[in-house]
DNA sequence: ATGTGTGAATCGCTTCACAGCT
DNA sequence: AGCTGTGAAGCGATTCACACAT
């Protein structure tokens, strides 16, 4: 069942704002950071040096308190009375999201979606490097697809380890998704972005995010019919 | 600000479960309905006739209370002591989400993502029919792409009206996204699924949903680095 | 004077728990 | 006896409001 948790007044941390206490950050906050990151890049391109939470809020369509709270989980990035330096803030977010490093990515499934993603410019710009493409179709294996040679999915374990792939984008049929996810999880993949319309059961150390365009269309359809807009 | 709402013990509705009171339904609920719909299709394919909220919950990875609550916003679809009839439930969800009707859809942008989506089988299966593709590139206009002739974006207003397009999928560069969204909104489009990494400002009567694979990868990256899994 | 950072208040979604229907 | 449907409780996320830093 559930371990009962005793709630008592929390022990006050001295006054040293040295480290920043560990807090559980919600998925929504992370997603918003990712949006802020894009907006900051645009502001920087326009030579904007500083931005206040109020200004950023208007651009993002959220409240300024939301923005300040989001940042507060990770540190004190602003200056009171001044706002945030766009460059600094961008760098802070990059570190938080892990965009300041190089991620080796493999795409599994050389179909429509898989090949569309291979040269998606935004990936490389943010540190995600597509190094491999896999398929099970003999007609595709060995062929060159946008500068990458399609590899045989049968050798995926050794190849993933050889090139130290940490992230896999799965764009394969639902029926084989679970099996493939198990194989690549054993091979050491740490995260999966799954386009197959199928919930994956993977070991704890693997993070999965589900992507499903058809579901997005269906949600859109609902809100068209029920003009209850203004939700995320 | 906010209209204060007086909370008093609800007047018991006689015994006629006739209509169902109007409630604001959250986006999360709608998204889950879309997932349930997929699972129900699978169960039906396996000739399962009935399913309890408990069983469905296990398949979906949510609680059974969540499932019952989600349905309760829309009606009483189950039978006490018995569970839900898979066919009936599927049909109810289809009606709620608007999947029992025919939606005319246009794809704007005949690039990688646009063309990948044209023949995405799941769309048609759920009532979303891709009728048109647009691009601004003279090299693409007039060419046939997966059975559709690429139309000139310059004539998009009249063409959208002629074929009664209600939903547009935008897969075009961020810089032109806002302008195109305004044109198609005026032309009568009711919903936009936007792949351009750019927040759109559209009239109230148009519903927008944002899709951004790069942002999903960034969120994935964060959670790989901070093994705080188990979020949606 | 201005705008951040953050406890406290509020809001809204999820879970509990059980009355009531089959 | 079994399982739904749903008020109420619980809890996490958002917003308020203001002390405090610049």
Cα separation, A58 vs A38, whole angstroms? 14
Cα separation, A57 vs A79, whole angstroms? 17
pLDDT band at residue B22 under the 50/70/90 scheme:
low
Residues of chain A above pLDDT 70, percent: 88
Which of B207, B217, B228 comes nearest A123 by C-beta? B217
Please tell me the predicted confidence (pLDDT) of residue B121: 85
B94-117 pLDDT per residue, tens: 999 999 999 999 999 999 999 999
Q: What are the backbone dihedrals phi and psi of residue A222, each rounded to the nearest 5 degrees, phi first?
A: -60, -45
Residue B15 is classified by DSSP as: S
Query: B216 near A193, Cβ under 8 Å?
Result: yes
Choice among A19-28, A121-130, A132-141, B37-46 with the minimum mean pLDDT: A19-28
pTM, to two decimals:
0.89
Mutate to test the interface with B, among A56, A213, A227 (most CBs of B within 10 A): A213
Please tell me the predicted confidence (pLDDT) of residue A19: 36
Contact call for B209 and A216, based on CB within 8 A: yes
Identify which has the larger pLDDT, B1 or A30: A30
Which tokens go with B138? 């003279």
Per CB-CB distance under 8 Å, the chain A contacts of B99 are 218, 221
Residue B155 is classified by DSSP as: G
> What is the number of alpha carbons within 13 Å of residue A110 lying toward its C-beta?
22
Query: B106 near B131, Cβ under 8 Å?
Result: yes
B42-87 pLDDT per residue, tens: 999 999 999 999 999 999 999 999 999 999 999 999 999 999 999 9
Cα separation, B220 vs B184, whole angstroms? 33
Residue A49 has pLDDT above 90, yes or no: yes
* DSSP-derived secondary structure for A38-69: HHHHHHHHTT--EE-HHHHHHHHTS-HHHHHH
**How many Å does it take to go from CA B12 to C1' C19?**
14
Query: A182 near A206, Cβ under 8 Å?
Result: no
Q: What rounded mean pLDDT belongs to chain B?
A: 89
Cα separation, B198 vs B232, whole angstroms? 23
| B231: nearest CA partner in chain A | A27
Please tell me the predicted confidence (pLDDT) of residue A22: 63
Contact call for B207 and A215, based on CB within 8 A: no
DSSP H helical ranges for A16-150: 27-45, 53-60, 64-72, 86-97, 112-118, 121-125
- Helix (H) or strand (E) holding B122, with range, is helix B121-125
Cα separation, A149 vs A110, whole angstroms? 10
pLDDT band at residue B220 under the 50/70/90 scheme:
very high
Cα separation, B74 vs A189, whole angstroms? 41
Residues of chain B above pLDDT 70, percent: 88
Strand C interface, A 29-88, C-beta < 7 A: 52-54, 64-65, 68-69, 71-72, 76-84
Q: Output the CA–CA distances (angstroms, integers) from residue A84 to A19, A32, B135, in the order listed.
A: 20, 16, 39
Average of pLDDT values for B168-196?
Answer: 97
Identify which has the larger pLDDT, A8 or B84: B84
Average of pLDDT values for A158-164?
Answer: 98
Interface residue B26 vs chain A (CB under 8 A): yes
């Amino acid at each position: 069942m559930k371990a009962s948790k005793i709630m008592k007044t929390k022990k006050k941390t001295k006054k040293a704002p040295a480290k920043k206490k560990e807090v559980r950050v919600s998925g929504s906050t992370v997603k918003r950071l990712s949006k802020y990151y894009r907006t900051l890049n645009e502001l920087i391109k326009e030579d904007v040096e500083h931005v206040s939470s109020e200004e950023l809020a208007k651009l993002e369509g959220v409240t300024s308190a939301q923005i300040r709270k989001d940042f507060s989980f990770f540190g004190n990035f602003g200056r009171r009375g001044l706002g945030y330096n766009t460059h600094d803030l961008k760098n802070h977010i990059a570190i938080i999201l892990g965009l300041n490093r190089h991620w080796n990515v493999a795409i599994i499934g050389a179909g429509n979606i898989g090949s569309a993603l291979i040269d998606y410019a935004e990936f490389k710009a943010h540190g995600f490097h597509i190094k491999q493409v896999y398929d099970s179709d003999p007609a595709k294996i060995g062929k060159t697809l946008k500068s990458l040679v399609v590899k045989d999915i049968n050798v995926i374990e050794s190849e993933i380890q050889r090139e130290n792939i940490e992230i896999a984008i799965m764009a394969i049929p639902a029926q084989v998704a679970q099996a493939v996810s198990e194989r690549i999880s054993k091979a050491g993949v740490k995260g999966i972005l799954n386009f197959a319309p199928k919930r994956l059961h993977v070991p704890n150390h693997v993070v999965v995010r589900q992507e499903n365009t058809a579901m997005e269309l269906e949600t859109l359809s609902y809100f068209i019919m029920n003009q209850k807009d203004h939700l995320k």
